[in-house]
Amino acid sequence: MQIQVSGHQIEITPALRDYVDARRERLARRFDNLTSLNVVLEVEKNRLANRAEGTLAAAGAVLHADAVEQDMYAAIDALFDKLDAQVRRHKDKRRTHGREDIRNLA
């Protein structure tokens, strides 16, 4: 999987990059057909908040989520929680697609 971590108004430190990579491993364990992940970390100075946006390309879908929190690590956690929920729904949809009709006919 290709991973790109970039920042707006913030320098991406090795600690932030490692934290994003550690959270990404949870997504990779859940669904193995992930192709790329693009994470943008941003500091919004006028709102005194940190924003994390992520775009995940999976087999058959492009998933996007964003999160705004006071702490950058909390924003990353919230972002990956949202992406994890989307990956679960996408995986379930791929697994059950077309099988509900067969069960209803029986």
Identify whether 44 is part of a domain: yes
- At residue 92, the pLDDT reads 87
Checking if the pLDDT of 105 tops 70, the result is no
Q: How many domains does the chain have?
A: 1
E strand or H helix at 40, and its extent?
strand 34-44
What does the pLDDT look like over 58-75, one tens digit per residue? 888 999 999 999 999 999
Residue 7 CB coordination number (10 Å): 15
Identify whether 104 is part of a domain: no
Return the CATH number at 71.
Answer: 3.30.160.100
Q: 57: domain range? A: 2-96
Prediction pTM value: 0.85
Checking if the pLDDT of 102 tops 80, the result is no
Read off the tokens for 62: 């492009």
Count Cβ atoms within 10 A of the Cβ of residue 87 and give its class: 0-12 exposed, 13-18 middle, 19 or more buried: buried
- At residue 103, the pLDDT reads 54
